[in-house]
Structure 1
């Protein structure tokens, strides 16, 4: 009879002991409150909590990958774009993450969205497309500074997509085509300039010795003879005609 009376008390004692035993994994910490006041951060491993008197809040210390929803913004050059990003952060101070902010994940998410809009709105579309590394670094630095009071460390920010409407895509395509045409014209003009310089230098070299012109003349005849053509235009140098005329006149010019 006494055994039956003591059985509920034994079961209650075992239940209290079981509820007092806590086990945390290596990447987890417990923020312990004693009678509503912060006591200490415990874990990982095995530890005991006094039932009713002490309560704990479990915090994960692993890196969290948060997808920032697509944000509508207007760039500095008045182009409407949609930008989304991904933020990598983790809790480094569990006490601040639980006490200083209500929900650190939601707070970081909202802060990331507003920071993304405010930072990218100060830059042109070309900078968003060509200088993503610098913009990622700027956004990460701002987020890291503002979330430090929450015990959060922002490790990295990556801009994933910059979506542009079809009208702007066509305008960018026309701009790129015009830029390529401009470069082609510049390259062609530079080639003509270099060719003209080389021709002037060649003409000066050939003009220094008349025999060089004769050798060039013979080389031209060789090139013409090698071509399969039914009509051959036979060039006759003016210098040769002048030399023949001089001999015919007995040496008089």
Structure 2
């Protein structure tokens, strides 16, 4: 016997079914995406200052436009890693170094080095910490170069030693993308005992020089007196004038009573 099949009525279309778990998940993800989209979009833009450059690594590899900047750059937060490199001149105050000179004298040297980054890519990829590497390299080169000079030469040729150190450090630092501008020796400190010995030597030299100058002055004074005596012998009246001048000088220096014969006999020019 034939039984008709049941067909879905039109009223069944109006029945509201419950939301499935998958639909809930997608709805939540859509809401989160709509809310976070402006934040993510803003995070994709970064500003690089005029004195810096940005090296961008995408999935661990250098992006083609690196180094980027200055200005606004575009990055992907989840895949890009940005390293900012400062291009300004940096200064390193080297710690005091105890250095043995060629004549076996221990001195303490204070120096400072000025450098800047010339190639940001090499600075990031070829050396781990370019600042500490430059500092250690400068210290090593300074010790090697100062060890080739005696104490006297090191004190006299400070500018030459600074120039040699800069050239030697720059040869290696260029491979790291770092350019050395200047290396300056601020001070060379001597041991206290050596300072006392040098001071005593300098004082003895000054005393000897003073005695030599005094002896030379006495020789010149004796020669002048000899010339003056010749003049007085030629003109006897000059003796009386000299005598009166000496009395005037004695009276002006202190209060004293001077007795001299009066009238004074003038020497006779004709008497011989």
Taking structure 1 as the reference length, the TM-score comes to 0.77
**Aligned counterparts of 1:142 and 1:196: Cα–Cα separation in 2:** 61
Structure 1's 224 and 169: CA in aligned 2 closer, same or farther, altered over 3 A?
Answer: closer
Q: Quick one: which of 26, 41, 44 aligns to 1:17? A: 41
Structure 1's 97 and 233: CA in aligned 2 closer, same or farther, altered over 3 A?
Answer: farther
Is 2:57 aligned against 1:37? no
Q: How much does 1:109 deviate?
A: 0.8
Is 2:238 aligned against 1:212? yes
Pairs within 5 Å for 1:95-134: 95-129=121-155, 131-134=157-160
Q: How many residues align?
A: 241
Structure 1 residue aligned with 2:223: 197
Structure 2 residue aligned with 1:249: none
> Is the CA contact 2:235–2:269 (under 8 Å) kept in the aligned structure 1?
no
Structure 1's 19 and 228: CA in aligned 2 closer, same or farther, altered over 3 A?
Answer: closer
Taking structure 2 as the reference length, the TM-score comes to 0.72
Q: Give the aligned CA root-mean-square deviation in angstroms.
A: 3.3
Q: How much does 1:177 deviate?
A: 1.6
Q: CA offsets, 1:3-44, max 9 Å, x none?
A: 534123335655543442111222221122345135221112
Q: Please, which runs of 5 or more residues in structure 1 have no aligned partner? A: 235-239, 247-253
> Is the CA contact 1:224–1:232 (under 8 Å) kept in the aligned structure 2?
no
Is 2:51 aligned against 1:27? yes
**Aligned counterparts of 2:257 and 2:120: Cα–Cα separation in 1:** 93
Structure 1's 146 and 232: CA in aligned 2 closer, same or farther, altered over 3 A?
Answer: farther
Pairs within 5 Å for 1:66-145: 66-129=92-155, 131-145=157-171
Residue 241 of structure 2: SS of its match in structure 1?
Answer: helix
Is 2:167 aligned against 1:147? no
Q: CA offsets, 1:30-59, max 9 Å, x none?
A: 122345135221112211024455432211
Residue 26 of structure 1: SS of its match in structure 2?
Answer: coil
> Is the CA contact 1:85–1:157 (under 8 Å) kept in the aligned structure 2?
yes
**Aligned counterparts of 1:200 and 1:91: Cα–Cα separation in 2:** 76
Q: CA offsets, 1:162-187, max 9 Å, x none?
A: 33332222212212221221222232
Q: Please, which runs of 5 or more residues in structure 2 have no aligned partner? A: 1-23, 262-266
Structure 2 residue aligned with 1:162: 188
Q: How much does 1:207 deviate?
A: 4.1
Is 2:199 aligned against 1:173? yes
Larger radius of gyration: 2
Q: Quick one: which of 47, 60, 71 aligns to 2:86? A: 60
